[in-house]
Amino acid sequence: MDRSTGSNGESPAVSCVDVTVAYGHTIAVDNLSFEASRGKILAILGPNGAGKTSTVESLEGYRVPQRGQVRVLGYDPAKDIKQLSPNIGVMLQEGGIHPMMSPRDAAELFAGYYRAAMDPGEIIGLVGLEDVARTPYKRLSGGEKQRLSLGLALMGRPVVVFLDEPTAGVDPQGRLGIRQVILQLRNQGTCIILTTHELPEAERLADEVLILDRGKKVMQGTIHELLATSKGNTSVRFHTLVTVDIHALAGAIGTSPGEIIEEAPGSYRVDGDATPGRIAAITSYLAEHDIFMDSLTTGTVSLEEAYLGLIGSSVQ
Amino acid sequence: MNRHASEQRRTAAPFLRRLVVQSRTETSMTLKRGESLLLTLGIPVVLLVFFAEVHVLPASTRKPVNFLAPGILALAVMSTSMVSLGIATGFERSYKVLKRLGTTPLGRPALLAGKMVAVVMVEIIQAIVLIAAALAIGWRPGGNGLEAIGVVALGTVAFSGLGLLLAGTLKAEVNLALVNGLYLVLLLVGDMIIPLSKFPGWMATLAKALPAAALSEGLFHSLNGGTAIPPWAWLVLVAWAIAAPVAAGIAWEWE
């Protein structure tokens, strides 16, 4: 695929080509290339020190890469921040708002920066802060602070939004509200770059994931593609009261012993297709050996399992 | 310009609108800070009235208030433009407020101009309160008001530059301690409550190189009438008004 155009023929909203960011002799981002499109949510995942923050800060114009090309909506963030800034929204992981400032004051202030800003009252309503609209920022709960930060990022009707851990420390109801806002934005055609450690959140929201480790790209693709990289992308899990002979079970159900993993004492995962025939074979084997089974589930591996599989192998 | 750049319709609000909203917020935030009001209004008024009425300090004039009033006005300028601005900006930096603003269309010129407007607004309030208090205890000013405004403008730029230099390079807590320490030192050697004529020669020479003494001296001569502002005071003020903001601009780190 041509780097300058996405799959739909449009220029990517965000692109990095061979980008390297270093701090002295420490390389934070190593020759990284990726793209993100409008109307999509790209989750950037990786362990601490993977280069997520340096990558996103390069896109936001805070850092100047030592090598490579960064473009957001065609602009170089480090040089063209004046033209770019009205088109992007940034939500920091924490802080960024004066402690004495209320959500209403902050929304009115930010509205004054953009020619076609959203109505401050509309933003307050969108993120559900009507009841605390006049409360100083320092007295808001963690979830309320996150929602205010998200609302301010949307004030200028951005084309690209950068969200850093948007649901960290937020209660379940607040998470639901934040997710709804993010998905609504995506459906309106906004490109969303989401940085998070919370893999279930990425699984719920992201159209694509970019996995980084030690500054390098481990993979970029859809959630489905990531799950497909996992050795056991579907599995059967069961729990027994006694230990099972894995080699004997493998022989009985026609798989290799390596496909059967004892995840915890008495808890087994059999990787591979969870077909009715395989389930029947497992239960038959247990019945023949008089082994009591108290639970059995089937399903795909989680994003977390697939992620750990990738990161684990890359560390090796 | 590629297709994306030409497609964009989002633009920043006009500079004047950004400046107005930022100035309004900066002024409001400054006036909400109780400790800042104590520093910028409370302490100068107390020092003025106390030392004018209780003659424990040496004065260079027959009526202590004639020496103290310009000196305390200089102290007020220093406390607002260096201490209050520097501490507030340092904490804004540690709260990532400045980082956040860096990705909005506000822009650095509007941010700095907004802060300067807030400083000037507070200085106007200080001037009204302090001049009223000084008049009430017998000060009878005379001289060149325009010169005084020029001196205050130079002092404001110089001290703001110093405040932003420290705020933009040090951790908030270190900045807080250092700015307060500097405030105390400059209060003592700044010709504000103790005349430079009472200092040993070497110390007076050193003090004259600092912006505090130059500002006090400039205000004393412009507000008490009769004598011209000494050239060294203009020179020192102009030098600091150029050097401090330039140094702040070079050394500044957003977070």
User: Does A121 share its domain with A71?
Assistant: yes
Write down the pLDDT at residue A133: 97
User: Does A286 share its domain with A244?
Assistant: yes
Across-strand partners of A270? A236, A260
| Domain annotation covers residue A3 | no
The CATH number of the domain holding residue A285 is 3.30.70
Mean pLDDT of A5-24: 81
Q: Which of A199, A188, A85 is nearest to B8 (CA)?
A: A85
User: Does A115 share its domain with A256?
Assistant: no
Burial A136-160 (b: 16+ CB within 10 A, else e): bbeebeebbbbbbbbbbbbbbbbbb
User: Does A119 share its domain with A164?
Assistant: yes
User: Does A19 share its domain with A143?
Assistant: yes
CB pairs below 8 Å between A and B: how many? 113
| Domain annotation covers residue A311 | no
Kindly report which listed range (A233-237, B230-234, B242-246) carries the lowest average pLDDT score.
A233-237
User: Does A249 share its domain with A215?
Assistant: no
Token pair 């020479």: residue: B205
Q: Could you report the per-residue pLDDT of B88-114, keeping only the tens digit for each? A: 999 999 999 999 999 999 988 899 889
Q: Could you report the per-residue pLDDT of A274-283, keeping only the tens digit for each? A: 788 999 999 9
Contact B145, B131 (CB under 8 A): no
- Asked which of A203, A225, A247 is the last residue of a domain, the reply is A225
User: Does A173 share its domain with A278?
Assistant: no
> Shortest CB distance from A85 goes to which of B2, B33, B103?
B103
Write down the pLDDT at residue B144: 85
* pLDDT of residue A34 exceeding 90: yes
| Domain annotation covers residue A2 | no
Instruction: Name the amino acid, one letter, at A224.
Output: H
Total count of residues recorded for chain A: 316
d(CA B177, CA A127): 39
- Asked which of A177, A198, A225 is the last residue of a domain, the reply is A225
CB contacts, 8 Å: B20 with chain A: 112
How does the average pLDDT of chain A come out, rounded?
Answer: 89
User: Does A219 share its domain with A239?
Assistant: no
**Cross-chain residue pair B105–A156, CB shorter than 8 Å:** yes
Q: Which of A275, A288, A218, A223 is nearest to A249 (CA)?
A: A288
Write down the pLDDT at residue B60: 65
Nearest Cα of chain B lies from the Cα of A249 at a distance, in angstroms, of 57
Distance of CA A182 to the CA centre of its chain: 12
Query: Greater confidence, B58 or A289?
Result: A289
* Structural domain containing residue A28: 14-225
Q: Write the CB contacts of B205 (distance below 8 Å, at least 6 apart in sequence).
A: none
Across-strand partners of A236? A270, A298
CB contacts, 8 Å: A82 with chain B: 12, 105, 107
Contact of A94 with chain B, judged by CB distance below 8 Å, is answered with: yes
d(CA A309, CA A232): 10
* pLDDT of residue B116 exceeding 80: yes
d(CA A227, CA B227): 84
Q: Which residue of A has its CA nearest to B31?
A: A100
User: Which helix H or strand E contains A44, and what residues bound it?
Assistant: strand A41-45
**Cross-chain residue pair B95–A157, CB shorter than 8 Å:** no
User: Does A123 share its domain with A251?
Assistant: no
| Domain annotation covers residue A132 | yes
- Asked which of A185, A201, A225 is the last residue of a domain, the reply is A225
* pLDDT of residue B253 exceeding 60: yes
User: Does A238 share its domain with A261?
Assistant: yes
- Domain map (residue ranges) of chain B: 14-251
Residue A27 banded pLDDT, cuts 50, 70, 90: very high
Write down the pLDDT at residue B180: 93
**Cross-chain residue pair B97–A74, CB shorter than 8 Å:** no
- A33, exposed or middle or buried, with CB in 10 Å at 0-12, 13-18, 19+? middle
Whole-prediction pTM = 0.81
Write down the pLDDT at residue A6: 44
Write down the pLDDT at residue A315: 44
d(CA A67, CA A19): 5
Angle B244-B98-A72 from CA coordinates, rounded to 5°: 115
CB contacts, 8 Å: A92 with chain B: 96, 99-100
Mean pLDDT of A69-77: 95
Residue A75 has φ and ψ, to the nearest 5°, of -95, 150
User: Does A252 share its domain with A214?
Assistant: no
| Domain annotation covers residue A308 | no
* pLDDT of residue A142 exceeding 60: yes
* pLDDT of residue A65 exceeding 50: yes
A95: left (phi over 0), alpha (psi -120 to 50) or beta: left
Total count of residues recorded for chain B: 255
d(CA A99, CA A139): 8
Contact of A85 with chain B, judged by CB distance below 8 Å, is answered with: yes
Q: How many domains does chain A have?
A: 2
User: Does A221 share its domain with A244?
Assistant: no
CB contacts, 8 Å: B96 with chain A: 92, 94-96
Contact A164, A152 (CB under 8 A): no
Which of B2, B8, B10 to substitute to test the interface with A, most A CBs within 10 Å? Answer: B10
The CATH number of the domain holding residue A100 is 3.40.50.300
Tell me the CB-side half-sphere exposure of residue A153, using CA atoms within 13 A: 34
Write down the pLDDT at residue A168: 83
Count other C-beta atoms under 10 Å from residue B154's C-beta.
24
CB contacts, 8 Å: A165 with chain B: none
Across-strand partners of A91? A163
